[in-house]
Amino acid sequence: MMGSEGALVAAVLGDCVGGEFEGAEEVPLDSVLKHLDSLDEEAKGSGILEYSDDTAMARCVVQSLLTRAGFDEQDMARRFAKEYSASPGRGYGSGVIQVLKKLSSPQLRDVYQPARDQFNGRGSFGNGGAMRASPFALAFPDLSDVKRFARLGAMLTHSCSLGYNGAILQAMAVHLSLHGALELPQQFISRLISEMEEVEDDELTRMDADKPFCERLHRVRDLMGRNKVSIEEVISELGNGIAALHSVPTAIFCVLHCLQPRDCLPVSYGGLERTLAYCLALGGDTDTIACMAGAIAGAHYGIEGVPQAWIRCCEGAEDAVMSAERLYMLYHRPQHMN
Ligand code: R7I
Ligand code: MG
Ligand code: MG
């Protein structure tokens, strides 16, 4: 329960604090620490850092799961479309906008069709499915449901296996973390690899690439075992881009790397602060990588690990605490009460 709150809140924080550096090629660590320091100043108004598409879409997933008490693709698609038309300026990917416009058409019969039409029928490999996958991990108690619904939820906009498999990986990482799996980091990464072996052992995936997420996760494991790893190596080995393949394994690495104190980061920082700071220092798709790493790390450290001052500064962070509670209550009540 505390893990659920931590996960949803830290995802919002990652999105909000990461927005400052999204798309930057090089981000000096000094700039990151300055930016994060400024959140502690009283002078800052509440909710001053706005959330982007990452949180906007995750909120739709949460609202749909809450009002429908299960996965309902029609309802979720409608919420994505409505949210986009109400606030189109949240920094959506340039391709997904087409899908969101088509999803608002009352004539639409198959809600998965607009996603399939993307990029000449190949579908998007962007991380837009993965960035909003965490709520599935909080809602569904069984890992098999987490995988199934994270995939379907992503396919509403991302029909390429490189897109939706990233969402499955992100949701699984959050789910395992909620259940304490980060206490044993080596087992955590091994479990993710074996789960993804199964996920990627499928014909459609093989047409796109040969177990690409497994290959990346092996690189994560190699980097974990190393004493010194530079930012440049992380970027060249794992990536920091908008493709799910170049950002979900990266987010997982950031969490694992920051389980211990790091010389380059302030000793006053707890694990969650280290994780978000490290994500920002990578540059590239900072809001999304910090959002995804935030969810995984927040599940591990819990709401107690989230600085109150940061919550006050970020739009939607307070809401996330309540949403996490409600998701937990709705999906984890005893069977006989359903
Ligand atoms: O994946 P998506 O929702 O974007 C999410 C990202 C996050 O960083 C957010 O914070 C926000 O900034 O955007 O949106 P898409 O438009 O589906 O994918 C993102 C981009 O990936 C596209 O605009 C393309 O540039 C690229 N892309 C592709 N390019 C060529 N061929 C995705 N799929 C393809 C492809 O198949
Ligand atoms: Mg964004
Ligand atoms: Mg982004």
CA distance 318 to 122: 38
124 lines ligand 1 (CB under 6 A): yes
Let me know: does 287 contact 52? Beta carbons within 8 Å.
yes
CA of 6 from ligand 1 middle (Å) equals 27
Q: How many whole angstroms separate alpha carbon 224 and alpha carbon 118? A: 36
pLDDT, average across residues 19-37? 96
Ligand nearest, relative to CA of residue 100: 1
Mean pLDDT over 32-45 rounds to: 83
91 in ligand 1 pocket by Cβ < 6 Å? yes
State if residue 53 touches ligand 1 by the CB under 6 angstroms criterion: yes
Which of 122, 242, 286, 291 to probe ligand 1 with, by most ligand atoms within 8 A of CB? 242
How deeply is 262 buried, as exposed, middle or buried, from its count of CB atoms within 10 A (0-12, 13-18, 19+)? middle
- Report the predicted TM-score, pTM, of the whole model to 2 decimal places: 0.97
CB atoms within 10 A of CB 124: 26
Query: Does 72 appear as a known binding residue?
Result: no
Contact between 305 and 271 (Cβ < 8 Å): yes
pLDDT tens sequence across 146-199: 999 999 999 999 999 999 999 999 999 999 999 999 999 999 999 999 999 999
The pLDDT tens digits of the residues spanning 196-231 come to: 999 999 888 778 788 999 999 999 999 998 989 999
Cβ 65 under 6 angstroms from ligand 1: no
Structure tokens at 231: 């930012």
Annotated ligand binding at 263? The verdict is no
Task: Tell me the pLDDT band of 111, cut-offs 50, 70 and 90.
Answer: very high
Q: What is the pLDDT of residue 55?
A: 99
Q: How confident is the model at residue 270 (pLDDT cuts 50, 70, 90)?
A: very high
Nearest CA to ligand 1 atom 30: 119
128 lines ligand 1 (CB under 6 A): yes
Residue 281 has pLDDT above 60, yes or no: yes
